[in-house]
Amino acid sequence: MDRTLETGYNMAAETSRAQSASSGSSRTRSRDICNGNVAIMTRFVADNTVGKLARWMSLMGYDVEYDPRGARRLLADPAVAERSALVVGRCPTLARDPASEGRFFHVESPELIEQIRQVASAFPMDFAKTIFTRCQRCNIPLGGLLPLEEVANRLPPLVKEWRSNFHECPRCRQLYWEGTHTERIRSILCDRVGLRI
């Protein structure tokens, strides 16, 4: 697999997102939701059966909560449950769980590229505007553009020399910038997934 698929946008922040294995191929299609009415829901909770997909959804700009210990843990939190999030996953038992019943989006393929394609097709956004706009740690929108002089003392020398546009997470203060890593992600989304970015 392309290494970019294993990593992501954020150069500095570590991620705790687990690379989870799919838990089988059985499906509960009667519980699946992918119709137009639900597509207006823009918040997601990702099960740990789709950990990599959750990270890519976040890179693409989706509001997605993820916990490597499982979606049930997130859904047990009233603050998350009240947000009426759509639950994304491949876990058949989660589809039948009262916490996610009626709002489960079944990810069909075990392949990441196919998974991204399925989500992007079911929940289209203007990805050219939404890509790289959320903090990969906090799942909140990044702040506005910061000039180099404001962040120069927090940057590696080469970044300072070659990059000029920076964004900061208003919560954790992680800095983000575009570079070769984001170019690779864009090319994967364009060339392999088929998105227009």
d(CA 164, CA 183): 16
91 CB-side CA count, 13 A: 21
Residue 27 binding Zn ion, by CB under 5 A: no
Contacts with 182 (C-beta within 8 Å, 6 or more apart), sequence order? 9, 132
Within residues 118-137, the interface with Zn ion by CB under 5 A covers 135, 137
Contact pick of 171, 180, 187, 190 for Zn ion (by CB under 5 A): 171
Q: State the nearest-atom distance from the C-beta of 172 to Zn ion, in Å.
A: 3
Q: Is 146 helix (H, G, I), strand (E, B) or coil?
A: strand
Q: Tell me if 170 contacts Zn ion by CB under 5 A.
A: no
Does 172 help bind Zn ion (rule: CB under 5 A)? Answer: yes
- Side-chain half-sphere of 89: how many Cα atoms within 13 Å? 32
Residue 59 lies near Zn ion (rule: CB under 5 A): no
138 lines the binding site for Zn ion (CB under 5 A): yes
Using CB under 5 A as the binding criterion, the count of chain residues that bind Zn ion stands at: 6
Q: Is 57 in the site for Zn ion (CB under 5 A)?
A: no
Task: Let me know: does 65 contact 88? Beta carbons within 8 Å.
Answer: no
Nearer to Zn ion by C-beta: 74 or 142? 142
Q: What is the contact surface with Zn ion in residues (CB under 5 A)?
A: 135, 137-138, 169, 171-172
